[in-house]
A and B are shown apart, each in its own frame.
Chain A
Amino acid sequence: MMETTTSKNTNTNTIGLSRADYRGAPSTLCQGCGHNSISSQIVAACYELNIRPENIIKFSGIGCSSKSPTYFLNRSFGFNGLHGRMPSLAQGAMFANIHMKGLGVSGDGDTASIGMGQFKHLARRNAPMVYIVENNGVYGLTKGQFSATAEDGLVLKKQGTNSYLPVDICMEALVTNASFVARGFAGDPKQLKNLLKAAFSHVGLAVLDIISPCVTFHNKENSFHSYQWGKENEIALHDITFVPAKEEITIEDFEPGSTKEVELHDGSMVILKKLDQDYDPTNRVEALRVLEEAEHNNTMLTGLLYVEPCAKTMFDRYDLPDEPLNRMPNERLRPAPESMDKINRMLFLK
């Protein structure tokens, strides 16, 4: 489904599509909403990865985040499901054609509250799709209630003070054996695009928890989910570079000894350039530890936290034909008439 390089011609990629071919309808979200920058990076990542939009199926739940799939990839099918229940919809739909890539967009209310159960079971089954949580700590579409990722002590205009502890979506994903877990920040588009590219190339569930400030109801300077706090307190685990399969890695770009390469299942490489610490993204316990430490230090850790490139996916548990199930002709779906007698005999035919 993917080809390798972007074209020398800057107006189209190697499959001859322009950026416009990846766009959607104009956004109706607020000016400056973090979700809009995420939409832009989804367009950029898919364009640069030369993915055919027809090969993506978009899914979402309910909330501001879940409206966003109309704002990118017009040429993809999409289904806007129920609040917190997009994962089930996606898992069923993806069996129709196992060669297509799922792209789910959810929010912190949609995933960490009503949808926690489905999110966990999606991770457990390792359905091969990109699962983005546009995380702003607040319910936007219902005008400013606390979400389950809002930090303890957060004060919002109408709601007063939040007195409950927040859910950390990356930690939840990690303990449920998600095979790809990353955290991004809508205010860091360069890193975000590379994380998205790696996520699209991962064969399995790629959970991307993206801190995406809500400019209308929750953009307080001292809060975890704001642009300003994010910019001041974001600590990237590494500089992340994504090299598609078949593209040559020019190693001189990277200082020897300071990088870690992870080969994804489709042959592409994620190159992580060391910043101030050695980090092994294939160690789940280490991922949990650095998240715990970041929380303690009041910082926002971003980057690829964990990846298990060859984990068994939902499809690997079945022996499915290569050809899409939804194109299979009727005569291969209805058993032959001769079988009826055998069945009747199995049912004690007299």
Chain B
Amino acid sequence: MSQKNETKDVSSVTKVAPIINDFCITFGTVNGSGSATANTTLMRAFFQMGIPVAGKNIFPSNIQGLPTWYTLRLSKKGYLARVEHDDIVVAMNPATIEKEMEFLVPGGVLFYADNIKFEKTRDDLIYYPMPVKKIIKEVDISPSLRDYVANMVYVGIVAQMLGVDLNIIKNALIFHFKEKTKPVDINMEVITLAADWAKENLEKQDRYFVEPMDKTTGWIMADGNTAGAIGALYGGVQFTSWYPITPASSLAESVHEFEPVLRRDPQTGKETSVIVQAEDELSAIGMAIGAGWAGLRSMTSTSGPGISLMTEYLGLAYYSEVPVVVWNVQRVGPSTGLPTRTAQGDLTFSYFLGHGDADFIMLFPGSVNECFEFGWKSFDIAERLQAPIFVISDLDLGMNEWMTPKLEYPNQPMDRGKVLWEEDLEAFAEKMKTSYGRYKDVDGDGIPYRTVVGNTHPLAPYFTRGTGHDEYAYYTEDPVAWEKGMERIKKKYETAKQYTPKPEIFTEENASIGIITAGSTHFAVEEARDILAENGVKSDYLRLRSIPFHDEVYDFIRNHDRVYIVEANRDGQLKQILTINIPECAMQLRKVAKVDGLPLSAKWITEQILQQEEK
């Protein structure tokens, strides 16, 4: 294509009004090249400017050398979901530049390292070369570090072209390097050189700008795994056993990182929380259940393959009634699948987990902030119900850095459930008008009382088993005792609803449809509802926060002729679970489900719903 055409086309699209704080930048780099620091720095700078921003890392299952992308979405309205197009691409990887060009909108911008040879196949883009090698050569650092700071060149150039104050960039670096001046200075030198170069050599032809806003005050930036770990520490977690698996590893690692900050015993200065890296997930869950049984607040964190391995022990914990919290940070399966990509594919698996009749309580944090909240709350629920509790997150929520309202100190005291110590047992018979039995339903809520190791009262010790047992924990194969025990546990599952988080419901006047989702898909649904409304389809929305379902969920479905269940899996798993729970409304439920490894976009959800609404 001729230069003349290019110029003409560009000017025709850039004549429109400037776009401020409302665009998407993708950085195409090679993983292992240190780009994370560069991308995070820009993200923090935008956040500091008060601009709502969301970052998503699309990375391969590899340590060094394969393409990786980082997308920053700036949204003045505060939308945090993934979008399917790019306004700006920063291309540092020759292998992917042509593909990246395809995703740019007309009038979009391509920053590229000037050593990359490629054909400028689109004439509706603005091209800015970046002399990365030249600028890096001017910096006085050892050659081994050059590659790592190379990405700072695009930080400087992009900052200059968008209008970001370099002092804000510097503050972000100071935060990143925890006030260590040397790395801050080296990086700032590169950034300043690059910004100066851009100022002198690049003419602003594009329409994208940033301006300070005030939409991030009182917010923080964190990923869901870190927030979940901090939540667990505020929940008084005493035992964490885990085995490395993407995308869950950083949850246990964050427990390890923040434990010294938060959990030194105020009286003795000693550790009050133990972390063990187990030899596998079979062992991680065994340890966690052992600790939960013995009276410790106990958890493990894993992803789908780990849950497969933990299944048998979770069945034992269900039947022997042991409190334990299990985080499932979902990734794409089956098999190894796409281990570094996101999905919500373990819903039916968790729901039907194990052999025999069993039901598991599932919590769905729908934001980073809620990862924190469920991080502490899950222990109260587990100990109250004496049952395994799943906290079901995913890679998008768990590993990506999100802006989220600041963490609020737990608003409820710790609930340790029905644990009896020596003096409680001494008073039990008189108080309760019945003898103590480990599996006896004294209160009529299906939840028995329990004792834990170290209790020296003669009534305290019992032999816990996965084999048939009666109300006094004695072995039995008696048909009546088995059935009675299992019915009582089912009752406990009903009681659970008093303690688990209720759904959040958002309504609009004259809404014609209902939408239900759970977890990280919330952000795309939130945005899709606005687009749907613009297209004449008003919706009510229920954000599910736990299973078993509260009555509000059933009422919501009954009150809508069509309810769209939005989820990131192939088969519509949440819809399947809802269908079997409210079969009389099965025909009202509509599937909006997709898994390709990427977070759902509002655009896709909108299209699916509009299509089914025949609009």
Contact = CB atoms under 8 A, between A and B. Distances in A.
Contacts of B226: 347
B384 to A, nearest CB: 14
Nearest to B236: A333
A189 interface: no
B270 A319 contact: yes
**The 5 A-B residue pairs with the shortest CB-CB distance in the complex, in nearest-first order:** A88-B286, A92-B290, A333-B236, A96-B294, A326-B295
A93 B286 CA distance: 9
Contacts of A326: 238, 294-296, 452-454
A342 B261 CA distance: 10
B467 interface: yes
Interface in B246-297: 258, 261-263, 265-268, 270-272, 274, 276, 278-280, 282-297
B466 interface: yes
Contacts of B18: none
B298 A92 contact: yes
Nearest to B222: A347
Contacts of B230: 343
B463 A69 contact: yes
B120 interface: no
A257 interface: no
Instruction: Tell me which of B268, B320, B409 has the highest count of chain A C-beta atoms within 10 A of its own C-beta.
Output: B409
A168 B175 CA distance: 56
B374 interface: no
B235 interface: yes
B576 to A, nearest CB: 29
Contacts of A89: 286-287, 289-290, 293
A92 B270 contact: no
Given A97-B454, A330-B414, A340-B409, 14 more contacts: A76-B461, A88-B284, A89-B290, A92-B294, A92-B298, A96-B452, A121-B278, A326-B453, A330-B416, A335-B234, A347-B226, A347-B407, A348-B175, A348-B220
Nearest to B223: A347
Q: Which of B278, B296, B416 has the most CB of A within 10 A?
A: B296
B294 A348 contact: no
Interface string B165-176: 000000000010
A139 B277 CA distance: 32
Interface of A: 52, 54, 57-58, 69-70, 74-82, 85-97, 100, 117-118, 121, 318-322, 324-328, 330, 332-337, 339-340, 342-344, 346-350
Interface string B215-241: 011111110001000100111101101
Contacts of B291: 92-93, 95-96
A325 B238 contact: yes
Nearest to B408: A340
B236 A92 contact: no
B353 to A, nearest CB: 15
A350 B463 contact: no
B570 interface: no
Looking at A77, A94, A97, which has the most chain B CB atoms within 10 Å of its CB? A77
A100 B220 contact: no
A186 to B, nearest CB: 23
A312 to B, nearest CB: 15
B286 A81 contact: yes
B62 to A, nearest CB: 28
Q: Which residue, of A75, A80, A343, has the highest number of chain B Cβ atoms within 10 A?
A: A343
Contacts of A340: 407-409
Nearest to B220: A347
13 contacts: A57-B294, A85-B283, A88-B241, A92-B287, A92-B291, A93-B453, A328-B238, A328-B272, A332-B266, A335-B233, A335-B234, A348-B175, A349-B218
A350 B461 contact: no
Contacts of B265: 321, 328, 332
B253 to A, nearest CB: 15
A345 B171 CA distance: 14
Interface in B285-329: 285-298, 312-313, 316, 320
B276 A91 contact: yes
Q: Among B294, B298, B452, find the residue whose CB has the most chain A CB atoms closer than 10 A.
A: B294
A344 B406 CA distance: 6
Contacts of A54: 454, 456, 461
A315 to B, nearest CB: 9
B467 A335 contact: no
A344 B294 contact: no
A121 B241 CA distance: 14
Interface stretch (B43-51, B82-90, B102-110, B423-431): B43-51
B50 A97 contact: no
Nearest to B473: A78
B458 interface: yes
Given A74-B461, A77-B462, A343-B407, A334 B234 contact: yes
Interface string B117-149: 000000000000000000000000000000000
B453 A96 contact: yes
Interface in B30-69: 44, 47-48, 50
A320 B263 CA distance: 12
A76 B35 CA distance: 57
Contact of A85 (B272, B274, B282, B451): B282
Given A89-B286, A96-B296, A334-B234, A350 B279 contact: no
A95 B278 CA distance: 14
B262 A335 contact: yes
Nearest to A324: B454
B107 to A, nearest CB: 31
Contacts of A57: 294, 453
B461 A85 contact: no
Contacts of A344: 220, 406-407
B477 to A, nearest CB: 12
